[in-house]
Structure formats: structure tokens, C-alpha cells
Chain A
Amino acid sequence: MREIYSVVTKTFLVLSLLFSEVTFPASEIKPKAKSVIQIWLWGGPSHLDTFDPKPNADYDYTGPFKSIPTNVPGIEINEYLVNLAKIADKYSIIRSMTHGINGHETAAYLMQTGHSAEENLVYPSIGAVVSLFKGYDYGYKNILPPYIVLTTSQGRFSECGFLGERYKPFVTGGDPNKTPFAVEGIVLEGVTEERKQARKELLYSIDLLGKFIPWIKEFKSFDLCREKAYEILSGEIAKVFDLTLEPDEIRNMYGRNTFGQSCLVARRLIEKGVIYVTVNYRGWDTHSNHFQQMKQKLPELDMGLSSLIKDLSDRGLLDSTIIWVSGEFGRTPKIQWEPPWNGGRNHYGKCFSVLVAGGGFKGGCVVGASDEKGENVIDRPVYPKDLLGSIYYLLGINPETKFPKEFGKDVTILPPIETGEKKGLLKEIMYE
């Protein structure tokens, strides 16, 4: 059955590639990237205090933070991002990201689906879409799921949208900064191998309904499912999550914290051929005591992200792996000094920054610009669909493709994307 299904969807994809609108002739889309790592800065990081510093603005905008030069002349970033400053040639910064939405859930939805929350449908997130077009239906044969989330899901919206259960990510749970990294359902803490074996035998000796009444179809598929689960558990899968197999200096380089070690796990998953990994990095919703919180978060982000980029690059994987780093929005450029905020920044969807690297994206570039206070986009606005469309494009997925018929929705992956100079897809930072 699976076979037929997959042939149908493949045929559909091929046809839709052939007959789609002129913007993306099929021949042009040769995949440059194989996999994606999405670093989700949950809550919305301040663009001024990360990748779009405004050293010449008033103190009411800059606060106590300064900017530092990077290894690419002309690009400056926040002073706490010292390691990232050394490798600016490996990533590009979009400083003109915009959508104007200031609510967490609607902005998070828009940034990850490319669709406005006003539409009468719940679209799948980019990770689910990629795992549809690159996953099991299209020849993905890995024992690891194609779409993995570290360590908790966003819970914002059902990530699979109307695609359904099958395209939901595998969420690890646990904490990679602890030993063992207790990935739910894969790494079991506190039970010896011997005992595991004993209780498996116990289970098989008392759970007999399927064996003796095999014509109940629910029970039959249940037993097959259990066989498959045990097969997976006895295989290599647990090893990929075992960070004790990494040298200490590598673990330390990434930073001994949940985010740093999540980045390390992400690299290990990409090495094993996983297609889409999301690292959900919480704690960027800094309404009050913003600067104190940022002083703690920025070095973590700096170590984890710079190590990930460098490490992938050293292993020759950066060229085929897209990394994109974003929150649902930025934060108000003007600081709220008054209580209860005591130096805080609010939600800001009008103008913010996103970092992209690898997988066909050039490094050392800046796309677009914001004004001298970081409040408005003054050059080359980039909308969520432009960013996501570029990622799809590099993966060889035409963003104007319609979803396969069996999902029952006659809609395209993304809304129409504009074409022309300084519009639409981020062609200016893509390799030919």
C-alpha cells in the first residue's frame, strides 16, 4: 500500500513541477541542500542586541550594550557574540525581516508556515512540509525519523497542520546536558539490560490476545507495531543520542548547557542523514530585566551556534546543511525603562533580524537594512514566505507546488512570492 501511495505522490510532485507557473521551471530547481537545522529563539530576541546593533542611536535604544566588528569588514554584531564575530564569513544576516505581527502564536505560525493566521486552514510548519517532500514517501530510508525536535515541542500549533500525525516531528524530551540524555522512548534510565530482557519475556508470555485470536485486526497490527519498535530499540538509534561518545573538548566547545548540547546532538543527527532538526531554544521573551537576561543568554547562543557552524564546516557538511536562526519577531528598539519592565523590550514584528548559513546560502553578506534606530525596514523587505521559500528552493522543493491530492486541500506550499530586483527569494545570497 505504501508503495502505491508513494508512487502516486511522486508522480504528482513531478507533474506539478513540470506544469507549475513560470517562476520556477523544474529544471532550475536542483537541490543544493540536503538537510536543515532550525534554531528557534522562542519568544523573539532583540535584533538590536544581536545581529543589528545601532551603536549610533541614543542610550534609550542601545542600552548598555556595545557592538564589535566581525571578520567581515563592515559587519558588526553584539559584543557578547565574540565567537560568531570570528566566523561572519560563514553566515549571512537578514536585517530587513518584517511581518508586523506582535502576538507570539500568530507570529510563530506565520514565520514557520509562511501563511497568515487569518486563512481558514492550519498549514503545516516548514519542518513537516520538508519531511513530506523529502521523507519516507520519497525514498527516505533512515531508521531515525526525518523530522526531529530538540527537546520540547513548541506546542504553539500542531506542527503537522492539516498533513496529520504522520508528519509530526519526533520530540526528544530529556536534557542533552544530563547523562544519560533520556530521549523519551529511546533511552531508558535506571533499568539494566538484563532486566529489560526479563520483562520483555514476561510481557510476551502474558500478552497473548494477538497470538491466539489473530483475526482481530487491531491486535494484529498492534503486535506488528511492537515488533518494529523493539527492532528499532535494539539498533543503533540510541547511540546517536549518546553524547558520552563525543570527546570532552567538543562537548565543552559547544557549551555545557542544554542549548549547546542540543546543537551538538543536531550535528550528530545531520551526520546520520536526518533531514530536518529544530532546536527550540526558550527564554527570549525578555519583557523585563532584558539586559541582565541577555548577558546570560548571548554567550550561550554564541558558543552553541558558532560551534555548530564551524563543526559542520570542518566536517564538510555545511554546504549541504541550511542553518536558519530566528524567533517569531524582534523586540521594540526603544527600551522601556519604567517599572514593571525595568529596562525591557516588548514584541516587535515590524523589523527584525534572521541569520542564515550553509546549504547554498552565501556567507559574509547582509540582506536589507533597518533605519538608524532599528524601527523600520528601509531596504529590501524580506517577508516570511521569502525566507521559507528560499529554504524550500535550496532543498529543491518548489514553493508553488500544491500539496499532494490525498490531503484534500487544493493549496500551494506558500502564497505567491514576488519576483524582481530586491524582492522575493533571497537570490542575492544564494550560490549560483
Chain B
Amino acid sequence: MEKIKLFAKNLLCFIETLFILYAGNIYSQKIIKPYEMENWYVPESEIDKIVFKTLKGKNLKFANPCSDEVFIRRIYLDTIGILPEPEKVINFINDKNPDKRKILIDELLEKKEFAEYWSMKWSDILRIKAEFPINLWPNGVQAYHSWILNSLMENKPYDKFVRELLTSSGSNFRNPPVNFYRAIQGRNPYSIASAICLTFMGVRFEKLPKEIQEGMSRIFSKVSYKKSLEWKEEIVYFNNELQEPVEGILPDGTKVKIPPDKDPREVFADWLIKPENPYFSKNIVNRIWSWIFGRGIIHQPDDITPENPPAIPELLTYLEKELVKSNYNLKHIYRIIFNSRTYQQSFIPESNNPELEKYFAYYSPKRLSAEVLLDIICKISGTGVEYISPIPEPYTFIPPEQRNVLLGDGSITGPFLELFGRPPRDTGYETERKNQIDEKQMRYLLNSSELHKKIQSSQYIRNLIKETKNDKKKIIENIYLTLLSRYPTQPEEEILSAYFNKSGISLNQAIEDIIWALINSKEFLYNH
């Protein structure tokens, strides 16, 4: 009996929220509430013109505009890696200002949490980790991570950021960017050249012609390391002992002869960060695009080869120009992408045609990253994380209120983070991070004692019961606003109200189960 009722309600829910789907055929451009809206109220941007032209040429259709509810959750996650508070969601939905999305984007980009969240990405690709195989050691990690965080906070121009990383000399504790040369397994000219090529050009070194590999390696043959009297301190310096010129080859094939007294790294950096350099701007704008859309205009973003052309070349060129024009202001790139309709499309594609993903004709849902997911769960439960690290140092006591995205050291970890695909930071490849759901993660979500205890001990539930004075409608509303950034639909509310009345389940247990179910839902687990 119970089951039949449930099924009936299921059906009801589907009819109310999604009936339009079945009324027409599933490929029609109907609006699916509460995820989509009918008309665009944001202006068309340059990006949209380019994408739209491409789609039209291929006879593909743009998805519908995403609703305000979907937008606010998405933009919070993509800028600062945090879910919006319920009040924020309510205010935003009710705000009548047609510029409200633009205003919100500006506001979020200026938050310190933006720098915090994106420092995680940079720490991944720069391989920040105290232990094997990178061996930065805890002090080096701390110095390097703070430097990156501060660079993002002050929105340091990207060319300056890279130049500092490539040309610095000195102590790993006192001049943090020198750690770039230390965060490489196998500190030899070949490995250094390979890391630079991957990180700042998006090119796999081993795919370049042998001659260029050798010529580029020679440019880094004068990078040396020496110990100091301080424990684990290391000095990175330009070693000119041999007084010999360096005959190197730049990745574009240009031969350079560098006199003995000139640090060859300077020559390389000068070449790299020139506006006309074919790799430099392309690499970073394509990466940012792929970080936001889960797919690069050139895909994979760190495997750029002539055989792997951009899906929309004009789009890439446009973004490159914008970067140079804005004086290498990365926030500008984020801003123009977030303000585009392309970004603000619904996550529901027109059909299952794979071309739609390739040409960005919808916002492809992304599973929340390990750190963000754990941050949300910890925030709701009011609990921290027990971290582990291979040796007594680095110390793994981290204040429970510190976000996981701020975990500077890749060697400090925990079972949850490992399970949900936090990258080991060994190679700097983008694919090191695993955001695919798998069966082990699923078992954890469905059946973990840890997760159950975290929900059970939730401060949030206690406050919720107190504040709503046991009002079940308000409880359901608040849970939905907190986890999904939207109000429940009528049928959802009915299903959940019925759950409260189930025999043998207390109020607390019912709330725990609802939160558990939502945490297990796709709408929650994906940024959509």
C-alpha cells in the first residue's frame, strides 16, 4: 500500500514539474521548472555571438536560460565553492533588478573566498605537496601556498605571476615562488622544462620534437639548488660556475644563444609572456574555460597539439585578445564568461547529441569536488575532519572551521578526500582530479557510518527545529533552500510531509533522512 501511494506521488511530482516534457516530445524546447525560465534577461555578449554562430552553422540549439535559483547556486559554487545561504537565495529570487546577475558576479569575484577557492586549482597544477614525490616539505608548502593565495587576492596580472614563478632565485622559505623549481619530481633540466611546458603552455613535453626537448632543457641547465644551515631550507639559484654560454631552442623552434652572465630563465620568460606568444594566453584562457565548463575549448586543456584543434577557434582567439587587452587580468576572463548567456544556459541539453557538449550548447553538470562536498557536509554537521599525513610533520591538526579548499598541502589528506578524487598532486595533470562518481563513492554516500554520524550530530538540525518551532513546512523549505538553493515543489513537499508521519521515525530522524536523501540526490551532488 505504502509503495503504491509513493508511486502515485512520484507520478504527481513528475506531472507537476515536468509535464511539459511529455506533453510535447522530449526534444522540444519547453521550459522545465524550477530549473529553467522562458526568456533571457541578460544581454547577449561577444562570447554568445561566437558560440551562437557556431551552433547555428552546425544546426544545434542553445539550451534554455537557467532559472535564478539554478544560477545563484551555480555561480556561488563556480566562484567561491560555497552554497548560498537561504536568505541570499530568497533575496536574489525576489530581486527585480535586471542587472542582478551581473551585480552578484561582481560581488562574488571580489570576495576573499574567490581567491581561496581558486588557490586550490593552482595548488593542484603547481603540485603543492610536502611529501613524496614532490617533497616541498611543510615550510616550503606553507610559504608557496600563501604566496599563491596572496597573488590571487591582489589579482596579480597573470604575466607577472608567471614571470615571478619562472625567474625567482633565493630561499624556499623567504622567496616563495622559487618553490616552482622545487615542486618537480626529478629536479633536472628535462623535468623542469617538461613542467613549464605543461603548466604554462598546456603542452605535453614528450610530444614535442626531440630536438626541441633537448634545446629547451638546456635553457634550464643552470638552475641549481643548495642547502643552507637551516633545516630543510634550500636555495634555488642561477649557477654560472662554468661561465659557458647556453645554446637553447625555444618551443617554437627559435634558436637562442645566451651569454654566460645572463640567466637563461629570463630569456625564456621574456619569450613566453609576450602578447604574441602562441602558447601563453591560449593556455590560460582555455584552462579557465575548462575549469568552469568542465571541458576546454581545446580538450584536454593540458594536451594541446596540432592534431587537437579548438572546438570553436574564434572563441579562443577572442578570449586570448581579451586577456592581453585587460593587461592579463584573470578576473576579467572569469567575469566575461560568467556574464555570458553561454554560461547561464540550463544544464538540460536539447537532446543527447554529444556535439551539444562539445560546442557548449548547455551547462554540463559537474560533480562537486571532494573538498567542496566535504566543506558543505562539515558545515551542515558543524564537525571538522580528521586528517592524516604520512609522517608526524606536517601537523594534521587543522581548525575545524577551516575550509578544505584551503588545505595547502597535498600530503595532508583524509579518506573522504581520497575517495572523492582529490588529486595526489604528483604530476600536475588536470586529469589527476577525479570528479566522476563511482560505485565506491556511491556506497559511501548511501551507507557510511561517518556520514550518518555527521548528519546525526548536526547543529543545523537542532537550530532548525528550534527556529521553526517544529513547523514541518518551514523545515522542509529551509532544507531545500540550504542544500538545493530553491523552494521545494508542491509534490516534493507532499512526499516529505508524508515522511514525517511515518511510524517509528522521530522528528529528528525524519529530518536526518531527508538531509541524507538530498545529499544523495543528483541535484545536490552536481553543480548544475
By a beta-carbon cutoff of 8 Å, the part of chain A in contact with chain B is 104-106, 108-109, 117-120, 122, 152-158, 165, 168, 170-171, 173-174, 182, 184-191, 194-195, 198-199, 201-203, 205-213, 215-219, 221-222, 225-226, 228-230, 232-233
Contacts and interface: CB of A to CB of B under 8 A. Distances in A.
A188 B445 CA distance: 11
A189 B413 contact: no
Contacts of B133: 109, 117, 122, 157
Contact of A195 (B349, B439, B456, B509): B509
Interface string B337-362: 00000000001110110000000000
A213 B348 contact: yes
Nearest to A187: B449
Interface string B361-378: 000110100000000000
B151 interface: no
B517 A155 contact: no
A186 B447 contact: yes
Contact of B517 (A165, A203, A230): A203
B518 interface: yes
6 closest cross-chain pairs (CB), A and B: A185-B443, A215-B352, A229-B442, A158-B424, A207-B521, A120-B186
Contact of B32 (A194, A195, A213, A218): A213
Given A195-B509, A218-B367, 7 more contacts: A105-B132, A152-B415, A153-B415, A157-B131, A173-B450, A198-B499, A222-B525
Contacts of B522: 207, 209-210, 218-219, 222
B14 interface: yes
A328 to B, nearest CB: 11
22 contacts: A108-B390, A109-B133, A155-B413, A158-B424, A173-B415, A184-B415, A185-B443, A187-B447, A189-B452, A189-B453, A198-B502, A203-B516, A205-B9, A206-B495, A207-B522, A208-B17, A209-B521, A212-B14, A215-B351, A219-B526, A222-B437, A222-B522
Contacts of A201: 2-3, 6
Contacts of A158: 424, 426
Contacts of A184: 415, 444, 448-450
B391 interface: yes
A154 B390 CA distance: 7
B495 A189 contact: no
Contact of A229 (B6, B18, B411, B439): B439
B175 interface: no
Nearest to B521: A207
A213 B347 CA distance: 10
B324 interface: no
Given A208-B14, A228-B439, A182 B449 contact: yes
A232 B447 CA distance: 11
B517 A206 contact: yes
A233 B516 contact: no
Contacts of B13: 205-206, 208
Contacts of B514: 202
B518 A191 contact: no
B516 A199 contact: yes
A362 B518 CA distance: 56
Contact of B448 (A188, A207, A210): A188
Given A105-B131, A155-B388, A165-B434, A229 B347 contact: no
Contacts of A203: 516-517, 520-521
B46 interface: no
A202 B131 CA distance: 44
Given A212-B14, A212-B18, A218 B443 contact: no
Size bracket, chain B contacts? 35 or more
A103 B347 CA distance: 49
A168 B453 CA distance: 26
Contacts of B389: 155
Contacts of B449: 174, 182, 184, 187-190
A208 B10 contact: yes
Given A153-B418, A198-B513, A208-B14, A233 B443 contact: yes
B394 to A, nearest CB: 12
A75 B135 CA distance: 41
B185 interface: yes
Contacts of A209: 521-523
Given A171-B415, A173-B415, A207-B522, A185 B517 contact: no
A348 to B, nearest CB: 17
A21 to B, nearest CB: 25
Interface in B178-216: 185-186, 191
B505 interface: yes
A119 B185 CA distance: 8
B5 to A, nearest CB: 10
A202 to B, nearest CB: 5
A208 B453 CA distance: 26
Nearest to A194: B504
A210 B442 CA distance: 15
B55 interface: no
A201 B446 CA distance: 12
B129 to A, nearest CB: 10
B293 to A, nearest CB: 13
B21 interface: yes
B438 interface: yes
Given A184-B449, A187-B449, A233-B443, A205 B391 contact: no
B2 to A, nearest CB: 8
B48 interface: no
Question: Which interface residue of A109, A218, A228 has the most chain B CB atoms within 10 A?
Answer: A218
Interface in B1-38: 2-3, 6, 9-10, 13-14, 17-18, 21, 26, 32
Contact of B446 (A173, A217, A233): A233
Question: Which interface residue of A152, A198, A210, A217 has the most chain B CB atoms within 10 A?
Answer: A198
Contacts of B452: 188-191
B477 interface: no
A35 B349 CA distance: 48
Nearest to A158: B424
A212 B21 contact: yes
Contacts of A152: 388, 415
B440 interface: yes
B367 to A, nearest CB: 8
B269 to A, nearest CB: 24
Contacts of A106: 132
